[in-house]
Each structure stands twice: as structure tokens, then as C-alpha cells.
Amino acid sequence: MGILDVIGPIMIGPSSSHTAGAAKIGFLARLIYGKPIQNVEITLYNSFAKTGKGHGTDKAIIGGLLGMKMDDERIPTSFEIAKDQGLEFQFILKQDLEKHPNETKIEIIETNLGENYSISGYSIGGGNAKIVEINGMKVDFSGKHDMLLITYLDVPGMIGYIGEILGDNHINIAYVQISRDASIGRAMAILKLDDFCTPDIVLKLCENKNIVKAISFPRLGGYLS
Amino acid sequence: MIPNRIRITGLTDAIQKMKEYGIPDLATFFLVYEAKNQVLSEETVLSQMEKALDAMEESIQKGKLKANITPSGLIQGGALKVNNFLAEGKSILSPAFTDVIYTTLAVAELNACMGRIVAAPTAGASGVLPGAFLTIAKNQKTSREKTIQSLFVAGGIGEVIALRASLAGASHGCQAENGSASAMTAAALCYLSVSDPVIVESSACFALKNLLGLVCDPVAGLVEVPCVKRNVVASVNAVACAEMALAGIQTVIPFDEVVDAMEQIGNSMPSSLKETSQGGLAVCNACKRYCL
């Protein structure tokens, strides 16, 4: 696992899985959504549901959604800060043996569009977490790479188009994963990159009318977040 | 020649590779190990370890600021009570020894109160390294450089446990959390005085052996009872084991085999005693009113 994982992470207690990992899921969800969040419904499953309150899992997720890293000392007061910043939230507790013991589903309610955006992730211990589902599409990433998430109309040639623009900008792709939702004719490409895809390259990508949404964010600083 | 990636199977292998690569001591070995394996410069790795040290020192200060009381009421400012007891001249121990207890409690309680700590190796055992190692290092007026080096030895011991067994209470019980923290701390404490790997290994062996079989049975699933005071046991144990090893007592069983024993014990522990709060202290009658 590495020496700096043994002596670390620096985090808000009391639990690396139930507090630090939960904050990381919230933080990643904010990056994935890519816009300020106003209203959110959060489901805590299994152990998160049973002992989450005592471990501050709820405060950690809200903190993460507000952009706090796992060592941010504002996490214990994140509910008050959410109120000040106009973030409405509610928690639902569920037991579901099909889910991971420390899983959460973050459903962002888009009041204007009447369409929700959901992100699921789970905490895997030691402050590490994974995002496993975005809007019903299976994904698998943890924020260790520079990320590019592209939602597009599921037509031929899109991956080639994306790859070419990244290549032109000397960005190497470490890993690509594609999920599709046939019912709405959309697909999502999750790209793990060796370098950050800057906003100007994102704009260039979006010139293609088949691209619905493109979100880019840099890798989390491994040690602190 | 040092390869681009360093793979070790245990502490014996680490010590052998250290000699093979011509590296003078364990602290440098684990620094090089981390830099190579994470593809970072040694300066970056050192500065990140220094950040961890800063955070540990801050956690000591914050944990001692006031009575730490948790919302559950299970933790009621124990650190402050120990300090007051010492200040009143009633302590039955030497002040240095009581300081280890006081500091360990302060950090473990701060963790329970959602304070900022360093998980070393876990949040549940975060009081041990600051409480025992940093307290004694400070008493000995250890340089910052030496303190950081010793943290690499502690990290190396934890890494060996992670490789051969686990550091998680959910998979191996409290022996994997406070037991590991105690072994890491004992090794770091020895390294303050001597770099001889035989002595460092012996101290880590004693510390882990003494806590083998310790289960994880947290009341109401919280990191409070018995976790906070088990941090103190791990600290006091680390100090005693470092003292014994420095005095020349040698381990009969190599560290790798002690870790293998922990792995085997962890695997035969029922899940009710591995962080599920379904057994042990967690199901005592006296604890039922705290349960969620």
C-alpha cells in the first residue's frame, strides 16, 4: 500500500472508511457534476446507514459536496455551512445486501430541468473510495488520475474524435471505459488521463454537436484527499 | 543497483535488500522504497512525511485544548482528567510515563470528536504514534530530521503488516489496528536510539505479539469505547517493548512470522468480533442504551 498510506491520510476523524472515504465520495460527486449543487437526496446503505450518524458520515458527504477535502476542519459543521450556501439536503437510510457495506447514492435534484443526476460510490477503507455508477451507467474510478467524463449521443466515431483531439494536445490516455444507456441513445466515456485536459481543450471537444456534456478534473492530491 | 520498483515480501526481505542495495539504514530504505514505488522524488516523499508530522503535532495541541466530549457521551474528557491528576501531584507514575498516557488519550479523543488527525495506520489507532513516539522523541530533544526518519521506520513496519496480513479492524480485529500501531511505534522509538535492525525488529515483534488476538468490538459501532483506551494500551505496550529490545532482549520469532500468526488469528476470528458490533463489549447490557 505504501509508506505514506500507512502514515496517513491526514483526515477528520473518527473513521477512515466512514468519515474520510465518505468525504471523498462527496468531493468526487461535486467534481463529476461540475456545477454548484442546490438540492440533493443522499441514500446511505448498510453500515453507512447503521453507524453513519455516529461517524459523521452524513457531515463528511455534505462537506465533500461543498468542496471540502477529507482533512478540512469545517466538516463537523458542514450542515450549517450547507444552509448558508443554499444547499438543501436530505438523507435516506436503507439496508440492501446487494450494495457494498459502505455505499452511498447521491441524487442531485435538478429543479430547472426536472431531471435528476445520480452518482453512487463506496468507501473501500483507508480513506479510499470509488465511484461506481453515474446516472445508472456502471463506472469505476477513484480520482487517482486526471479525469475526463464525456456524455455523448451514441453514434459511430465518437471515441476516435475524442482520441484525436487529446492526441493533438499531447495528452496520453491511460484507460477508457464506455457505458451506454440504449434507452436514451446516450453513452458515457470515462477517460483516465496522464495529463489534465484543460478547459480550452474541453471547449474544443464540445464543438462536436454529438457531445452532450464534458467534465474534466485533475487527479486528487493523493496524500491529502 | 537499486531497481525502479522495490518489491518486498516482509521485514527479513527488506533488511536483506537494504544490505544488497548498499543502503545504510531502515529509514533510508523505506524512503527510497516509497519514492521508487510511487514514482516521486525523495524530497517530495520527505516533505509529505513532514506534513504528516506537522498534522500529528497539531492534533496533540488540539486534543489537549479542552475536555473532549462526544455526542454519544461515551467519551467525557479523559485526557484532561489525567492531566489534572498529574498537576495535583497524585500520579502514581513518573511524569514522562503519564505524559504518554495523557497525549495518547488527547489525540484518540480528538479523533472521536471529529478532529483532524493522521491515520497511522488507521484513524481508530491514531493516538499511538503521537502519544508514545512523539512524546518521548520530544522528551529526548530529538531533531526534526531524526523524528521524520523514525516515522519511515514506523511506516515500513506497517507496510510489512499490510503486505502479509491487514491493517483493518474489519478484516483482522483490533490487533491489526492498535496492535500494528504499537509495533510501528515500538520500532520508531528504538530507532531514535539505535539503527540496528535486529533491535528494531525485536521491539516490533514484542509489541505485536503482546496484542495478538485483540478483537474489534466497538460499542454502538463508534470509535470510542473501548477504542480510545486501547490506544493507551498500545502506547504503553510500545514503550515497554522498545525498552526491552533496547536493553538487549531478542525476539525468538521473526517479525514476518508474528505477522503471519496475526493473519491466521484474524482469519479465524468470527465476524461478530471484527468491527460489526455484534459481539464482545458491543453487546453488553450496560452498552445497550448507547446503541443506535
One-character DSSP codes across B182-212 = HHHHHHHHHHHH---HHHHHHHHHHHHHHTT
Contact (Cβ atoms closer than 8 angstroms) between residue B251 and residue B183 = no
Give the span between the Cα atoms of B163 and B180, in whole angstroms: 12
Per the CB < 8 A criterion, the answer to whether A127 and A19 are in contact is no
Interface touch B115/A19, C-beta < 8 Å: no
Min CA distance, A12 vs chain B (Å)? 4
CB A159 within 8 A of CB A150: no
Q: Which residues of A touch B29 (CB under 8 A)?
A: none
Outline where A96-193 has alpha helix (H). 158-168
Give pLDDT, residue B110. 98
CB neighbour list of residue A96: distance below 8 Å, 6 or more residues apart: A45, A46
| Contact residues, chain A, for B291 at CB < 8 Å | none
A73 touches chain B (CB under 8 A): yes
C-beta atoms of A14 and B49 within 8 A:
no
A2 CB neighbours in chain B (<8 A) are 34, 37-38, 159
What are the pLDDT digits (tens) for B114-163?
999 999 999 999 999 999 999 999 999 999 999 999 999 999 999 999 99
* CB atoms A71 and B162 under 8 Å: no
State the DSSP code for A198. -
Inspect the interface and report whether the beta carbons of A55 and B222 lie closer than 8 Å: yes
The β-bridge partners of A121 are: A104, A131
B52 contacts in A (CB within 8 Å)?
Answer: 4, 7-8, 10
| Mean pLDDT, rounded, for B17-44 | 97
Facing residue for B220 by CB, picked from A2, A54, A127: A54
CB contact under 8 A, B118 and A73: no
Chains A and B form CB pairs within 8 A to the count of 136
Query: How many Å lie between the alpha carbon of B97 and the closest alpha carbon of chain A?
Result: 24
For residue A21, what is the enclosing H or E element? helix A21-33
Model confidence pTM above 0.90: yes
Among B258, B166, B147, B274, smallest CA distance to B217 is for B274
Q: What is the pLDDT of residue B211?
A: 98
Q: Which residues of chain A have pLDDT under 50?
A: 223-225
Angle formed by the axes of helices B11-20 and B144-164, to 10°?
130
Question: Do B203 and B246 form a contact (C-beta atoms < 8 A)?
Answer: yes
Q: What is the pLDDT of residue A114?
A: 60
Confidence label for B88 from pLDDT (cuts 50, 70 and 90): very high
Residue of B nearest to A70 (CA): B116
A21: number of Cβ within 10 Å: 30
Residue B199 to residue A191: CA distance in whole angstroms: 49
Residue B286: the pLDDT is 92
Whether residue A3 lies within 8 A of chain B, CB to CB, comes out as yes
In this predicted structure, what is the pLDDT of residue B106? 98
CB contacts, 8 Å: A15 with chain B: 123-124, 223
- Which residues of chain A have a CB within 8 Å of the CB of B34? 2-4
pLDDT digits (tens, 9 = 90+) for B194-230: 999 999 999 999 999 999 999 999 999 999 999 999 9
Residue A115 burial by CB count (10 A; 0-12/13-18/19+): exposed, middle or buried? exposed
Shortest CA distance from A71: residue in chain B: B116
Nearest Cα residue in chain B from A5? B121
The Cα of B251 is separated from the nearest Cα of chain A by a number of Å equal to: 24
Burial of A168 (0-12, 13-18, 19+ CB in 10 A): exposed
Q: Which three cell numbers stand for residue A92?
A: 435516506
Q: Is residue B38 pLDDT above 60, yes or no?
A: yes
User: Cell numbers at residue B99, please?
Assistant: 505524559
User: Which chain A residues touch B49 with a CB distance below 8 Å?
Assistant: 3-4, 7
Q: Among partner residues A14, A16, A47, which is closest to B114 by beta-carbon distance?
A: A14
pLDDT on residue A98: 94
The domain A146-217 belongs to what CATH superfamily? Answer: ACT domain (3.30.70.260)
* pLDDT computed for residue A225 by the predictor: 44
Select the CATH number that applies to the domain covering A3-141 from these four: 3.30.1330.90, 3.40.50.1820, 3.30.465.10, 3.60.20.10. 3.30.1330.90
Contacts of A163-172 with C-beta under 8 Å, sequence gap 24+, read: A165/A201, A165/A204, A165/A205, A166/A191, A166/A193, A166/A197, A166/A201, A169/A197, A169/A201, A170/A195, A171/A195, A171/A197, A171/A201
Residue A152 parent element (H or E): strand A146-153
Q: Is the predicted ipTM greater than 0.90, yes or no?
A: yes
Asked if A123 has any chain B CB less than 8 Å from its own CB, the reply is: no
Q: What is the pLDDT of residue A224?
A: 41
Give start-end residues of each CATH 3.30.1330.90 domain in chain A. Answer: 3-141
Residue B292, pLDDT score: 54
What is the C-alpha to C-alpha distance for residues B47 and A206, in angstroms, rounded to an integer? 40
Residue B171 CB contacts under 8 Å (≥ 6 apart), including other chains: B266, B274
Average pLDDT, chain B: 96
Is cis: bond before A9, omega within 30 of 0? yes
